Structure 1
Amino acid sequence: MKIYLSILFLFLSSFVFSQVVDEGDLEKGLQQGKEIKPSIKLYKIYSLEKDTTYVDTSLSIKNEYKYNFLRKDIFGLIPFANEGHTCNVLNFGLIQKSILPSFGFSAKHFNYLQASDIKYYSVPTPLTELYYKTVMEQGQSLDAFLTVNTKPNFNFSIAYKGLRSNGKYINNISSSGNFRFTTSYFTKNKQYFLNAHFTAQDISNQENGGIIDTKLFEQSNPPNDQRDRLDVYFKDATSLLKGNRLFLEHSFFLNKNNPNSLVFTHTFNTEYKFFEFTQSSSSTRFGDAFSNSINNKTRFNNFYNKIGLGYKTKNFGSLNFYVDDNNYNYYYNSLVYDNLGNIVVPNAISDRINMLGGNYTYFTSNLTAKIELAQTISNQSISNVHAMLNYTPNDNIKLEFKYQKLNSLPNLNYTLYQSRYVDYNWLNNFKNEKLNQLSFSAFTKWLNTSVQYKVLNDHLYFDNITDDITKLTVKPMQYDKTINYFSVNANKDIKFWKLGLDVTVLYQKVDQASDIVNVPELTTRSTLYFSDHVFKKAMFLQTGVTFQYFSKYYGNDYNPLIGEFYVQNETKFGNFPMFDFFINARIKQTRIYLKAEHFNSSFTGYNYYSAPNYPYRDFMVRFGLEWNFFK
C-alpha cells in the first residue's frame, strides 16, 4: 500500500505543472501567446462501452448522493456500521449475473473494481481530483487521482483509494486499498485504438459476526450506549480479498479513409485473486473444526482472450463476430478425505470455456439498437441473448428497453469450498441458472420511471440449515421452482424558487412458493434541500435533509466465513427512519461536505439493523471534500 501511495504522489508532483495539451482553439491561443481556459467538456471520461461523459465539478443533489466510499449512488444498498465493510442489498434488481462463472464471495466485492468499472480519460491539461472523508473512529478515507495527456492521442491516469477505519464495535477495523493505472492511445489517423489498465486491490475487514445480545443494543442504556461495550461473536477473525488484474482492449480499422471498414478487435484479461478467512481460535458457532486455529484461503486465476472481426458502416450500423477463450483455475492447497481415506472434496476446479458470439448495432441521431448472441462451442452448455434499444424523440424524453435471456454456470464457491470447519466443505454439481429479464425505463422532464421483471429458474442461494442465528451451518442450495420478481422505480426532482424536493420510490414484489428471494416491498429516499449563491456569488451553498426508509422484511444475513449473504426467515428488520442533515458548499472547483448522519437515531428507537444482529450506523457527524485541479 505504501509503495502505491509513493508512486501516486511522485506522479502528482511531476505533472501538476505540466504544459497544456495543444488542441483546437487551445492550440491557437497558445500560439498567439494567450492564456485560454479549456472548456470543461474537453475533460472527457469514457467507458469500454464508449459511453462518454465529462468531469463534473458542480454541486448538485446527485453529487451529494455519490459522495460516499463507493463513489456512486447507493440507493438500494444499506451499508454496515463501519465504513468499508459490506452492504446488504435492498434492491434485488441491482444484482447482475455473468454468463461466465465468477470467483464468488460476493459480499466482499462491493469495493472491488471490476474491469467494467474502470474509466478512461482524454484531457487538454493535467487533471487531479482528491476525495477525502472522515470515518468511524480513527482513520480516514482518501481517493487521489491524476490524469494527463502527454500528446492529444495518448493519455494515462494513476489513482489510489485508501481506507482505514477502526469502527465503533469490537473487532471491526476496515482497511483497504484500490490502486489503478490506465492508459489509452490512438494513432493520429485514428486507425488503431487501445485501452489498458492495471489494478491491485486489497480489502481487509475484521469480522466480529455481529452483536450477541440485540436487546442490549436496542435499550442502549449506559454503558451499552458505548458500542465497544457490546459483546460480539468473534474477537479474532479477519477476512481478506486481494487481487491483481491486467486488462487490454484494442482495435484496428482496415481502411482508415472509408467510413465502411473492417475492424479487428482483441481483448485480453488476466487476473489473480484470493479470499482468506483467519481466526486464531475456532468458534463453536461454525461447528466442529479440524484444528484450533482457522486459516481458509481460496485462490483463483483467470486468463481470458477474445478475438473479433467487425464491419462498421456509416448508414447501416455495425456487425461483429467474436470467439473467446476463458481459462480459469480455482484451487486450494489441500484435499479433504473421509474416514476411509477417500477424497471427498478435491483441491481444484479447472476448466476452459470457448464461446462464439456476435452483435449488431444500429444507430441514428436519436435511436440506438443493439442485439448480442453468444453460445458455447466447448463442452459446457451456456448461452446469452441480450437486446437493447435507446430512443430519444426529443430533448425532454429518453426511452430505454432491455431484454436478456441467460443460461449461466454457478459461481465457483457454490461448486467447491474447503475450510478447517468440518461443515464448510462441499463439492456440488448444480444445474445452470436460468434468467429471463425485461426492463423498460423512461427519463422525462416530468418523471423518471423504470420497470423490471425477472423470471429465475434453478436459482442458487446460501441457506443456514440450522435456522438458528447462534449456530451457522450455511450451505449452497438450488431452488427447483420458478421465482418471479417485479419492481417499479420512480424518481422526480421538483424545484421551486431556491428549494428542491428529490423523491425516489422503489416497489418490489416476488412470486415464489418458498421465501428464497426476500425483498422489502417499499424502499424510498426523499431529500428536501435549499440551494443558492452566497458571499457575492463566491460560494454556492446547498443544505437540506434526506429521509430514507425501507419496510420490514426477512433480510439476508451475513456469514463472514464464506464472504456471502444467506437467506434467513427467522428475524425481520427494517421499518425505521433514517434522517441525514447536510450542508455542502462549492468554491470554484472545491466541494465541501458536512453531514449529520442518522441524527434521529437517539429519539426514534434503537431498532435499526443492516442485517440481523448487525446494527446500522449510529448518529455521527462527518466532514469531507472533493477538490479538482486543472493546470
Structure 2
Amino acid sequence: MNKLIFVLLFVLLCNGLNAQRKLGSSGASRERLDPQDTISRGSSSRFGSKSNKKLETKIQDYLIISHKNDTTFVDTTLTIQKEYKFNYLRKDNFGLMPFSNLGQTYNSLTYNFENTSLMPGFGARARHFNYMEIEDINYYRVPTPLTELMFKTAFEQGQLADSFFSVNTSPQFNFSIAYKGLRSLGKYQHVLTSTGNFRFTTNYRTKNNRYNVRGHIVTQDLLNQENGGIIDDNIDEFETGDPEFIDRSIFEVNFENAESILRGKRFHLEHNYKIIREKDSLSNNKLSIGHIISFEDKYFQYDQTTANTSFFGDAFKTIGLKDRATLENFYNQVQLNYSNNIIGNLQFNISNTNYNYGYDKLVVLNGNTITNRLKGDVFSAGGKYQKQYKGFDLQGEMGLNISGDFDGNYIKAKATFKLNEDIAASASLNHSSRAPNYNTLLYQSDYINYNWQNSFNNIETQQLAFNLKYKQLLNVSVDLNTINDYVYFKQDENTNQVKPFQNNNSITYLRVKLENEIKFGKFALNNTILYQNVQDENNVLNVPELTTRNTLYFSSHLFKKAMYLQTGVTLNYFTQYYMNDYSPVLAEFYVQNEREFGSFPRLDFFINAKIRQTRIYLKAEHFNSAFTGYNYYSAPNYPYRDFTVRFGVVWNFFL
C-alpha cells in the first residue's frame, strides 16, 4: 500500500510541480564557452513568456543539472571527447571491450573499487552497462524548448537512435522526455539485440526558492539473443583468416535457442524545504529538511527452448527453460541539512530499504531446500560534510547499516586544492564493507548446477586515490586498492559449471592513469594511458598491465567557417592477460586462467564535421583487421568486430 501511495503521489507531482536545485548558484561548474558553441538564432522569448519583447538567449542558459547538483550547460561543440562519447553508451568507454554486436555486453579491462553503497547489487552485471541508474539521470532548465536527436548505424539490419526534448513552461517548472532505442542483427548467428531506455524527468521550485522538488520515471528493457560464442572447432578458421569464413554468419555457434532480457522500471522523487533560508550571501545559518523516495522493480530472465546439457550440464527439464530473478527495492531517506559560514555544510540522514529479491519456486537439491526469497528491511544512518577552507575544498561522507539482515558501512573523505585556474589537485580515501551481489548469495535455475545459497562475508575495500590536473596538458590519477573477501565467478573444478567463490587472500590493486593532449598548429595528439598492477596469489582479479588509446587528429574551420572539421586516426591497444570469459545463463563474466588474450591493435579512422548545431560522424572501425592478424577477441570464443564503416549524426534544435 505504501508503494502504491508513493506512485500516486509521484504522478500528481509530475503533473503540477518539480524542479532543479542550486541553479546558477556560486557552486555550479561553468565551462568556458568555445567559439563553436553558438545558437543559430540570436534571440527568442524565454520560459514561455507571453510578452512580445525578445530577450537574448545564450548557450550558457541551457542548463544541465546532475544527480549531485553539478551544473553545466548544453555543449554543441565538436571535440575529440565528443568523438569518444559517440557510441551506444553515450559516454567514454575507455577500459571497456565491446562485443561484436552493438548492444551486447562489454568485457572490463579495469575496475573502480570506490563504493558508497550499503546494499547488495542485483547481479547480472554484464547486462547493466546500458542500464541507467539514479546517478545517470540529469535534470534541466532551459529558456526555450530544447531538442536533441542522435542517430547511428548498427550492424546489418537496424539502427541506434536517441531522442530528447526539454522545456520550461515557466522559470520554475521544467520537464524532459527521452527515449533511446536500438535494434541490431549482428554479423554472427543469433546475436540480435533490441533495447529501449525511456526517461521522463521533471523539476519545480517555488518563486521564493523555499521548496524544491525533482523526480524521474525510467523504464528499460534490454534484450539479447545468446549463442555461447563460436564453437571450439571453428577457432582455427577464425584465427587463420580462412577466406571461406570471412562471412561471419557461416561460423557455427554453441546454441541458437536462447535469449536473455533485463527489464526494470523506477520512480524516483527528491524534495526539500528550507526552514531557515539564506537572505543574502552573508547569511550565517541555513536549515532545511529533505526527503528522497525511490521505488525500483526489475528482473533478469534467461530463456532457452531446449536444454543444452553439453554446455551447462544436466537440467531439471529438457524444454521450455526459464530462469527469472526479480528484485523490488523501496527506498526512503529523511535528511536534515544545516550550513554555517564557520563550520560549513552538514547533513544527517536516516534511511530505510525494503528489499525483496528471489524466485517464484523452491528448489530441492541433494536433499536440501534452497530458499526462494531474500527479503526484509534495512535501516541506515549517515552524514555528509563540506567546507571551503583556505583554498581547500573538504568533503566527507559516511553511512552505516544499524539494523537488518545485511551489515554494511562506508566512509569517504576528499580534499581538493586549486592552486590557480590551471592547476588542481585532490586526494581521497574510501573504505567500504558491503554484502556481495544478490545473485552470488542466492540463485535458481533450471540447470541443476546453477542453484546455490551462500553465506559469504562482506567484501571489504580500501582505496587511496590522488589526482593532479594541469590545463588540458596533463591529468594524472592514481589509486591504490586493497580488497578482502573478494567474491567472483569461476568454473567449479568438479562440474565445470560457473558458480560464485570468495577469495581467501587479500588483493592489492594499483592503477595509474595518464591523460594529456599535445597540440601543434591544427594537429593534436590525444593520449590516454592506463597502467595496472595486481598482487593476487589466487589470480582472481585479472586485468591487462597496459591499456592505451592514442588519437592523432586534425581540426580546422572550412568554407568561411561554415563548417568545422575533425579527422584523424585512433589506436586502441591492451597487453595480453587472462581475459574473463562470459556466462550467458548468469549474464556474468567469470575468471579463466587457461589462455591469454590481447596484444592486438585496433585502428579507427574518422571524419567528423559540425555545421551550425549539427555534428556528423563517419568512422572506419578496425580498418586494420585484415592485415594485423585475426587474434582479436572480446572474450574467449567471442571474436571482436571486423572492419566496418558506420555513420551517425547528433542534431540540436533551439526553438
TM range (shorter): over 0.9
Confirm or deny: 8 A CA contact 2:117 2:410 kept in the other structure. Answer: no
1:325 partner letter? N
Q: Provide structure 2 residue ranges, at least 5 long, that are not aligned to the other structure.
A: 1-40
Q: Tell me whether 1:582 sits opposite 2:606 in the alignment.
A: yes
Aligned counterpart, 2:346: 319
Aligned counterpart, 2:238: 217
Aligned residue among 294, 302, 314 for 1:288: 314
Aligned counterpart, 2:31: none
What is the CA RMSD across the aligned residues, in angstroms? 1.8
Aligned counterpart, 1:4: none
Give the superposition deviation at 1:22: 3.6
Confirm or deny: 8 A CA contact 1:189 1:256 kept in the other structure. Answer: no
Aligned length: 604
Aligned counterpart, 1:13: none
1:267-300: CA deviation from partner (whole Å, max 9, x where unpaired): 1110000000001111121000011121111111
Give the superposition deviation at 1:234: 1.4
Aligned counterpart, 2:145: 126
Confirm or deny: 8 A CA contact 1:21 1:149 kept in the other structure. Answer: no
Give the TM-score of the pair, scaled to structure 2. 0.90
2:397 partner letter? E
Distance 1:491 1:414, change over 3 A: same
1:245 partner letter? R
Whole-Å separation in 2 of the counterparts to 1:250 and 1:62 = 34
Give the superposition deviation at 1:316: 3.4
Q: Tell me whether 1:333 sits opposite 2:360 in the alignment.
A: yes
Aligned counterpart, 1:562: 586
Aligned counterpart, 1:238: 259
Q: Provide structure 1 residue ranges, at least 5 long, that are not aligned to the other structure.
A: 1-16
Whole-Å separation in 1 of the counterparts to 2:51 and 2:313 = 75
Whole-Å separation in 1 of the counterparts to 2:410 and 2:278 = 35
**4+ aligned runs moved over 4 Å, structure 1:** 94-97
Aligned counterpart, 1:8: none
Residue aligned with 1:137, SS: coil
1:487 partner letter? R
Confirm or deny: 8 A CA contact 1:448 1:492 kept in the other structure. Answer: yes
Whole-Å separation in 2 of the counterparts to 1:179 and 1:364 = 42
Aligned residue among 529, 537, 540 for 1:516: 540
Give the superposition deviation at 1:93: 2.8
Give the TM-score of the pair, scaled to structure 1. 0.93
1:485-516: CA deviation from partner (whole Å, max 9, x where unpaired): 00100011111110010011100000111101
Superposition pairs of residues 598-617 of structure 1, within 5 angstroms: 598-617=622-641
Residue aligned with 2:306, SS: coil
Whole-Å separation in 2 of the counterparts to 1:535 and 1:479 = 61
Confirm or deny: 8 A CA contact 1:204 1:239 kept in the other structure. Answer: yes
Distance 1:94 1:581, change over 3 A: farther
Q: Which moved more, 1:249-258 or 1:200-209?
A: 249-258
Residue aligned with 1:72, SS: coil
Aligned residue among 54, 65, 75 for 2:73: 54
1:39 partner letter? K
Aligned counterpart, 2:249: 228
Whole-Å separation in 1 of the counterparts to 2:52 and 2:311 = 74
1:371-409: CA deviation from partner (whole Å, max 9, x where unpaired): 112112104431110112222121101212221100101
1:181-217: CA deviation from partner (whole Å, max 9, x where unpaired): 0001111111111110000000000011111121111
Aligned counterpart, 1:7: none
Aligned residue among 379, 384, 388 for 1:354: 379
Residue aligned with 2:186, SS: coil
Whole-Å separation in 1 of the counterparts to 2:248 and 2:300 = 29
**How high is the sequence identity, in percent, across the aligned residues?**
48
Superposition pairs of residues 159-198 of structure 1, within 5 angstroms: 159-198=178-217
Aligned counterpart, 1:502: 526
Aligned counterpart, 2:304: 279
Residue aligned with 2:577, SS: coil
Confirm or deny: 8 A CA contact 1:21 1:151 kept in the other structure. Answer: no
Confirm or deny: 8 A CA contact 1:353 1:376 kept in the other structure. Answer: yes
Q: Tell me whether 1:440 sits opposite 2:466 in the alignment.
A: yes
Distance 1:238 1:101, change over 3 A: same
Whole-Å separation in 2 of the counterparts to 1:297 and 1:95 = 30
Q: Tell me whether 1:85 sits opposite 2:104 in the alignment.
A: yes
Q: Tell me whether 1:310 sits opposite 2:337 in the alignment.
A: yes
Distance 1:413 1:65, change over 3 A: same
Whole-Å separation in 1 of the counterparts to 2:275 and 2:180 = 40
Whole-Å separation in 2 of the counterparts to 1:402 and 1:390 = 9
Whole-Å separation in 2 of the counterparts to 1:560 and 1:349 = 23
Q: Tell me whether 1:539 sits opposite 2:539 in the alignment.
A: no
1:562-609: CA deviation from partner (whole Å, max 9, x where unpaired): 010000001110000000000000000000000000000000011000
1:426-460: CA deviation from partner (whole Å, max 9, x where unpaired): 00000011000111111112311000110000000
Residue aligned with 1:448, SS: strand
Q: Tell me whether 1:299 sits opposite 2:326 in the alignment.
A: yes
Residue aligned with 2:318, SS: coil
Q: Tell me whether 1:390 sits opposite 2:416 in the alignment.
A: yes
Q: Tell me whether 1:158 sits opposite 2:182 in the alignment.
A: no
1:115 partner letter? I
Whole-Å separation in 2 of the counterparts to 1:390 and 1:114 = 27
Confirm or deny: 8 A CA contact 1:310 1:320 kept in the other structure. Answer: yes
Give the superposition deviation at 1:20: 5.5
Confirm or deny: 8 A CA contact 1:20 1:126 kept in the other structure. Answer: no
Whole-Å separation in 2 of the counterparts to 1:625 and 1:82 = 20
Aligned counterpart, 1:620: 644
Aligned counterpart, 1:374: 399
Give the superposition deviation at 1:366: 5.0
Give the superposition deviation at 1:313: 2.4
1:230-251: CA deviation from partner (whole Å, max 9, x where unpaired): 0111111100000000001111
Aligned counterpart, 1:410: 436
Distance 1:567 1:97, change over 3 A: farther
Aligned residue among 550, 554, 567 for 1:526: 550
Give the superposition deviation at 1:99: 2.5
1:307 partner letter? V
Give the superposition deviation at 1:522: 0.3
Distance 1:43 1:566, change over 3 A: same
Confirm or deny: 8 A CA contact 1:572 1:612 kept in the other structure. Answer: no
Give the superposition deviation at 1:318: 0.9
Whole-Å separation in 2 of the counterparts to 1:523 and 1:493 = 17
1:509 partner letter? N
Whole-Å separation in 2 of the counterparts to 1:450 and 1:339 = 50
Whole-Å separation in 2 of the counterparts to 1:616 and 1:591 = 27
Confirm or deny: 8 A CA contact 2:287 2:338 kept in the other structure. Answer: yes
Residue aligned with 1:516, SS: coil
Whole-Å separation in 2 of the counterparts to 1:598 and 1:555 = 20
